[in-house]
Amino acid sequence: MSSAFFFIILFPFFFFFEEKKKTIKMTSWLDESIDDPNLKQTIQDLIQAYPASSRVIERMVRYYDNKPSDREAKRRKVEESTLSNDEVFRILDLSFQLPARKKYNLIITRTHLLLHNPKPDIIEYQYNLDDFSADGGACVPSPDKATKCNTYTLFLKTEDCLVFNSQDKVDVILRKPNTKDETLIVDKHQIISNLLSEHARVKIAHPTKDFFRNTGISSSTGKVLEDKCHVLAYLKAKDGFLFFLPTGILFGFKKPTLFFPINSLASTVITNITQRTFDLTLTLKSNCQVLGSAGFRTTKEGDNDTVQFSMIEQSEYGGIEAYSKKIGVNDNSMAEERKAIVSKKEEEEEEEEGTSKDNVVNLVDEDSEENDEDFEPSDNENEPLEYDTDADDVDDDEENNQKTMSRHDEMSVDEDEEDLLDSDED
């Protein structure tokens, strides 16, 4: 037999083994990279339908396998020696809410802010200092904590935010290179704020009564809560606290925690006023970004972005209105375009109602003038009362009625006497 004959006979077996080999190879990289059986089966079906796609899909899977995630890029094991030359200071054992609910050491270097987990000795988050917003920092009393403490916020120019707390009764340890640890006891909140402002280049704003004076009333005592520097509000279905600061309006401290710098506000509007609550709508200037807005989207009102906070107590209105005037933001609550639209039919009905009321008033006034224009009061008690023609008419009517009734009684008596006489004759 010729070699060509054997090739024709063996070619199907060769093709079968090559396809089997490819299938085994494909299964191996799918098994290594993809755990989801449904997704794996879908990819296999796609490759069988379009064999040429096998190489492209494999390369794509390999690429994402080898690419580190953003979280892994931030979580890096760092030797103490690599930080000692560049570190400015660190504050030990702070309780963070964002970006994670953990205790971290906050480290400031010449170029970065680092969140260091001391137990595994890992830098879990790192941020470039140039990425922080200069006006995106605040230190406010924590309104929802059982123990008295302050909450700090640091906003980045991107959609990110750091939130941490420090308790009043718990000492804070400040560590600087080549110096002995310092225990912050008195004015710890102000010291931390000053350190962040100086070395992280973030201005830390504090509540002040020069900008916002609370007018809310306690439900239990009925007195104004002058020491309170926040307002309870809702952002859609999420409750939080509004702080009216010299640098802007802060809403926190759950996700989203937001900050509206003063230079981003175009106007404020009070809407949906009820007996107990009202809504506050912030209108933003064009091309202005809400800080800390990860996953948050504003609403559109005309050509402007707006953010609405609802269910604010009526008693808080005075303080919010005064703050808007203090920072020079327009209050458009009574703008013409926001007034209720009255239909033509409603206008006609109101005009008719007003005309009828005027007519009634005029009739009453004319009658009063007619009856009283000649009346002159006197101090003499013996002087007879003013003659009233209407009263005379009433007396005449009563006299006529009495005469008619007496006549009717006389006729009834005569009829009874006639009946008696008839009975005697019989």
Question: What CATH number is associated with residue 304?
Answer: 2.30.29.30
Report how far residue 415's alpha carbon sits from residue 384's, in angstroms, rounded to the nearest whole number. 46
Residue 78 sits in the same domain as residue 187: yes
Residue 106 sits in the same domain as residue 134: yes
Beta strand 204-205 with 132-141 is parallel
Report how far residue 87's alpha carbon sits from residue 111's, in angstroms, rounded to the nearest whole number. 9
Helices then strands, each counted (H, E), the chain? 9, 20
**Domain ends where: 310, 334, 358?**
334
Residue 167 sits in the same domain as residue 78: yes
Beta strand 330-331 with 265-271 is parallel
Report how far residue 260's alpha carbon sits from residue 209's, in angstroms, rounded to the nearest whole number. 19
Question: What CATH number is associated with residue 87?
Answer: 2.30.29.150
> Looking at the domain assignment, is residue 415 inside a domain?
no
Residue 198 sits in the same domain as residue 284: no
Report how far residue 412's alpha carbon sits from residue 404's, in angstroms, rounded to the nearest whole number. 13
Burial (0-12, 13-18, 19+ Cβ within 10 Å), 280: buried
Sign, Cα dihedral of 360, 361, 366, 369: positive
Residue 155 sits in the same domain as residue 245: no
Q: What confidence score (pLDDT) does residue 55 get? A: 80
Per-residue pLDDT of the chain (426 residues; tens, 9 = 90+): 555 544 455 545 444 445 545 554 555 667 777 767 778 788 888 888 888 888 888 778 777 766 555 545 444 555 444 555 689 999 999 999 999 999 999 999 999 999 999 888 899 999 999 999 988 899 999 987 888 999 999 999 887 899 999 998 889 999 998 899 999 988 899 999 999 999 998 999 999 999 998 888 877 777 777 778 899 999 988 999 999 999 999 998 988 899 999 999 999 999 888 889 999 999 998 888 789 877 777 887 767 789 999 999 999 999 999 999 999 987 766 544 444 434 444 455 556 555 555 554 454 444 444 444 444 554 554 544 444 444 444 445 555 555 545 554 555 444 444 444 444 444
Sign, Cα dihedral of 111, 113, 117, 122: negative
Residue 127 sits in the same domain as residue 252: no
Q: What confidence score (pLDDT) does residue 298 get? A: 82
Q: Give the CB-side neighbour count of residue 189, counting CA atoms within 13 A.
A: 21
Contacts of 352 (CB under 8 A, 6+ apart): none
Q: Into how many domains does the chain fold? A: 3
Residue 274 sits in the same domain as residue 254: yes
User: What are the residue ranges of helices labelled H in 75-225?
Assistant: 80-84, 188-199
Domain span at residue 261 reads 231-334
This prediction has a pTM of: 0.62
User: Do 230 and 312 form a contact (C-beta atoms < 8 A)?
Assistant: no
Angle at 404 between CA 398 and CA 410, to 5 degrees: 135
Integer CA distances (angstroms), 63 to 32, 49, 121, in order = 13, 23, 30
Question: 53-66 and 3-33 are packed helices; what angle lies between their axes, rounded to 10 degrees?
Answer: 30
Residue 126 sits in the same domain as residue 26: no
User: Do 159 and 256 form a contact (C-beta atoms < 8 A)?
Assistant: no
Angle at 148 between CA 144 and CA 154, to 5 degrees: 70
Burial (0-12, 13-18, 19+ Cβ within 10 Å), 91: buried
Rg (C-alpha) for the chain, rounded Å, is: 44
Q: Give the CB-side neighbour count of residue 36, counting CA atoms within 13 A.
A: 4
> Looking at the domain assignment, is residue 352 inside a domain?
no
Q: What confidence score (pLDDT) does residue 22 get? A: 52
Residue 62 sits in the same domain as residue 76: no
Residue 52 sits in the same domain as residue 171: no
Residue 172 sits in the same domain as residue 90: yes
Report how far residue 183's alpha carbon sits from residue 166's, in angstroms, rounded to the nearest whole number. 13
User: Do 200 and 111 form a contact (C-beta atoms < 8 A)?
Assistant: no
